């Protein structure tokens, strides 16, 4: 059998796809699922080798049930994976905007978050990327306003009627305030409340970048692709936003 260049390309493509799948599920619920499937598969192989017919039948039925339930239980992860395929470099030019305008918005957002953090004022800010967030915008109060530090500060003022919920920034404008976000089903470390659960949940279902400011401690966190980065400084937040939001970086 002759090993050709086509075979090498075939192997490299498969290896890359497997690597991306493993990398994308790190730290998510899917990790536990993969481990469970591995146990079932290994047990099935052993049962067949030992000719354990009843055990093999039970494992086959379990595998069928799991495969049928997968699309339902892991709908957010599957949706995000398909969206990531559709957000390849081929489509990035469709949403490109001026770098100067991006930098201005970034400065305004980071400055607002830093001030909110220093005052221990809770905040939840969603930054839209490739996935459109219209359905979440509709759950809040539509604003369609320019992004400014002052407006963000006023929205999250504790006595403001727009304080609860999330601000969604889309296409360089504040699209809505007091928007409702989906909560994650994943287990978060102790001390994290509804804002953090909403941030992670939103990042699991979309490719948005979500900033959270803790009302109790003033800690700044960032949720991206189902993962939560905590204890960010102002400089670190700016760096992360520049990579994930402006440049469209991925995990």
Q: What is the pLDDT along the chain (251 residues), one digit of tens a residue?
A: 677 888 889 889 988 887 776 666 655 556 667 777 788 888 888 888 888 888 888 888 888 887 787 777 666 666 666 665 665 544 444 444 456 667 889 999 999 999 999 999 999 999 999 888 988 999 999 999 999 999 999 999 998 899 899 999 998 899 999 999 999 988 887 778 999 999 999 999 899 999 999 999 999 999 999 999 999 999 999 999 999 987 666 66
**β-sheet bridge partners, residue 169:** 127, 174
Verify that 220 and 161 share a domain, yes or no: yes
Report field, pTM of the whole predicted structure over 0.75: no
**Edge-to-edge strand order for the sheet containing 166-170?**
141-146, 173-179, 166-170, 123-127, 209-213, 220-224, 227-229
* Total number of domains constituting the chain: 2
Asked if 60 and 44 touch (Cβ cutoff 8 Å), the reply is yes
Q: Which range of residues forms the domain containing residue 24?
A: 5-73
What tokens does 48 get? Answer: 């067949």
Q: Which of 15, 41, 73 represents a domain boundary (last residue)?
A: 73
Nearest CA-CA partner of 238 in 118, 121, 108, 106: 106
Provide φ and ψ at 51, rounded to 5°: 60, 40
| The two structure tokens encoding residue 128 | 């839209």
Assess whether 107 and 209 both reside in one domain: yes
In a domain, 59, yes or no: yes
The conformational region for residue 126 under phi > 0 = left, psi -120 to 50 = alpha, else beta, is beta
62 and 103, same domain (yes or no): no
């Amino acid at each position: 059998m002759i090993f050709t260049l086509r075979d090498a390309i075939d192997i490299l493509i498969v290896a890359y796809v497997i690597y991306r799948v493993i990398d994308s599920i790190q730290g998510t619920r899917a990790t536990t699922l993969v481990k469970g499937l591995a146990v079932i598969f290994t047990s099935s192989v052993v049962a067949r080798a030992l000719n354990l017919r009843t055990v093999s039948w039970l494992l086959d039925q379990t595998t069928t049930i799991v495969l049928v339930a997968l699309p339902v239980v892991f709908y957010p992860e599957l949706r995000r994976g398909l969206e990531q395929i559709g957000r390849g470099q081929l489509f990035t030019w469709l949403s490109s905007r001026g770098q100067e305008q991006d930098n201005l918005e970034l400065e305004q957002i980071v400055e607002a978050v830093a001030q909110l953090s220093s005052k221990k004022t809770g905040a939840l800010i969603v930054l839209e990327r490739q996935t459109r967030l219209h359905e979440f915008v509709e759950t809040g109060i539509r604003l369609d306003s320019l992004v400014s530090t002052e407006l963000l500060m006023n929205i999250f003022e504790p006595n403001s009627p727009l304080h609860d919920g999330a601000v969604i920034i889309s296409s360089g404008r504040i699209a809505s305030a007091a928007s409702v976000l989906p909560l994650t089903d994943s287990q978060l470390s102790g001390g994290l409340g509804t804002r953090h659960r909403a941030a992670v949940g939103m990042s699991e279902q979309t490719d948005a970048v979500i900033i959270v400011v803790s009302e109790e401690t003033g800690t700044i966190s960032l949720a991206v692709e189902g993962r939560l980065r905590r204890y960010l400084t102002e400089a670190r937040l700016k760096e992360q936003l520049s990579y994930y939001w402006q440049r469209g970086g991925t995990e």
